[in-house]
Structure 1
């Protein structure tokens, strides 16, 4: 019945073009229960340095009821939960917890799970995920450096060019899992090498490549990096996580970023996501999806449906 309801909503949007009818898959968000589970960055003090600054406001439970209390009137019908840096001593624990949450509440609809590609347990972790069908992809944030310190031959331990990391990455094809890449855009030459060398493994770029520096020079370089990575057809782009420390999220500031990202990857390989509750530090969930809708209002109905719903459903098989 749920599938029939969503398909009716989808067809109604295609007929009406009314954003009130637009079904949404939130392709990147978190759930966590800090009373029961250990996420070191959310539980331990002192807090770690963070790109949005002080994040004390998100260091509390965030579960499906908390999510929908913030969603306004948006038709969010499915979600993809991203790993939330759960205790690395138990890399599969979060996926098991999310599976139980899905069984109780129906959410998340799919998830990206924790992995450590250069650890000895990588084969065992991938084997465990075969028994957890909610898991569609995995994330291991590779080693990165600030832009000023980056060199084109960067290959530090734990980076996308390091031998152990690539050895683990090579196992993803046989597992059938995608890879979620969270790295700043100046590391995208390394990501392009992965896409080239492992063409049957899909890469899903998180947070639009993290264009935090909004200077003209930095944005031009970010666009060039996106363009180069987009040449590889096995790479997709999540438009999310584009807030700025100390600045309220706005269509005026983020509209050009979103439109440039879509120009690079096309409406067939981009998908919108909230990064909640993390991005609640810079925007409400209601205003975020309203802003995304405003930014792409000039797209066709089919393109808008792809960005908000169809692409995520296809990519995450939900």
Structure 2
């Protein structure tokens, strides 16, 4: 990699390192829907059904999952706008394999979140309808990544959104196609852009929106060494967004390179107690602002797998929810996800 290259947004997964951490599973009977994971086969990284099952079968009671777009298995030909439909076709096949019961009781990919380039405006409806047909009754909505920062070292080279894309008229024309088709929108961006989601949610109060990864608090590049200051800014934006009743938030996805934690640099993987302590301010703020019925824990695997194992992650979530009521725990671990993604598990 040259000195001018953008660093990889992903931390490498080291199975031998992850194997150094083993913990007893907390509350193993608690039903969990993992509402955010990926599947892919890339030249340097494979994470397919068998890999996911190795994680979901690590001790927690994972009753179902939701796949979220990641540029996996796009069609190689045909109109550019329709190529992401290949991802839905692929994932629906995986979901059908799981629904056969031959891979265990968990309903893998029970919900599918695909991608449509909303910059196609009104024509987005045709692509959405193609996803619905390809999804076998499992297609629930889309994610159009808008994560942008002037610092190029914070950008994922696979995506190049312009600033303030959510305010673009053509993008909003495409966004307007979601609600009539009973589809939702997953928003992935960085914490300085949370106000963009608030404006979008206010403009489209009838469209369900899910903020991914607690809104992407940054802690590297120009944001390095400012965690307390950024936490205050982020908290204010989160509370303002929570005033929009059509928005829910995913609690997780905080172990990417951009989040600035150093878990991956240690000799041993972090314990669930360490993870819970690091994430407590973010998780508690979201639950206080949105309420448990509008929050859902998410793994963001395999992206976050560079920092910790699947079992330790869910143990950390259970530690963070230790003082919650039974009803609140149900919402955080399965209920909110089931309602937002319209899952019957």
Task: Please give the range of the TM-score, normalised by the shorter of the 2 chains.
Answer: 0.7 to 0.9
Q: What residue number does 2:84 align with?
A: 91
Q: Distance in 1 between matches of 2:196 and 2:261?
A: 30
Q: What residue number does 1:122 align with?
A: 124
Q: CA deviation at 1:96?
A: 0.6
Q: What residue number does 1:290 align with?
A: 315
Q: CA deviation at 1:65?
A: 2.4
Per-residue CA shift, 1:58-110, capped at 9, x if unaligned? x4221232123224210001000001123484110000111111112232111
Is 1:70 the counterpart of 2:78? The answer is: no
Q: Distance in 1 between matches of 2:170 and 2:148?
A: 16
| Secondary structure at 2:128 match in 1 | helix
Is the 1:143–1:159 Cα contact (8 Å) retained in structure 2?
no
Is 1:300 the counterpart of 2:285? The answer is: no
CA 1:209/1:157 → structure 2, altered by over 3 Å: closer, same or farther? closer
Q: Distance in 2 between matches of 1:85 and 1:156?
A: 19
Is the 1:203–1:234 Cα contact (8 Å) retained in structure 2?
yes
Q: What residue number does 1:252 align with?
A: 277
Please, what is the CA RMSD of the aligned residues?
2.1
Q: CA deviation at 1:145?
A: 2.2
Is the 1:147–1:186 Cα contact (8 Å) retained in structure 2?
no
| Secondary structure at 1:108 match in 2 | strand
> Structure 1: where are the runs of 5+ without partners?
1-17, 35-41, 44-58, 149-154
CA 1:31/1:227 → structure 2, altered by over 3 Å: closer, same or farther? same
1:117-266 matched pairs, under 5 angstroms: 117-119=118-120, 121-131=123-133, 132=135, 133-142=137-146, 144-146=148-150, 159-213=165-219, 215-243=227-255, 244-245=259-260, 247-248=262-263, 250-266=275-291
| Farther off after superposition, 206-215 or 216-225 | 206-215
Is 1:103 the counterpart of 2:124? The answer is: no
Q: Distance in 1 between matches of 2:164 and 2:200?
A: 14
> Structure 2: where are the runs of 5+ without partners?
1-25, 100-107, 153-160, 220-225, 264-269
Is the 1:239–1:273 Cα contact (8 Å) retained in structure 2?
yes
Q: CA deviation at 1:24?
A: 0.2
Is the 1:223–1:264 Cα contact (8 Å) retained in structure 2?
no
The match for 1:24 among 7, 32, 50 is 32
| Secondary structure at 1:81 match in 2 | strand
User: TM-score normalized by structure 2?
Assistant: 0.74
Q: CA deviation at 1:123?
A: 2.5
CA 1:101/1:156 → structure 2, altered by over 3 Å: closer, same or farther? closer
Is the 2:68–2:114 Cα contact (8 Å) retained in structure 1?
yes
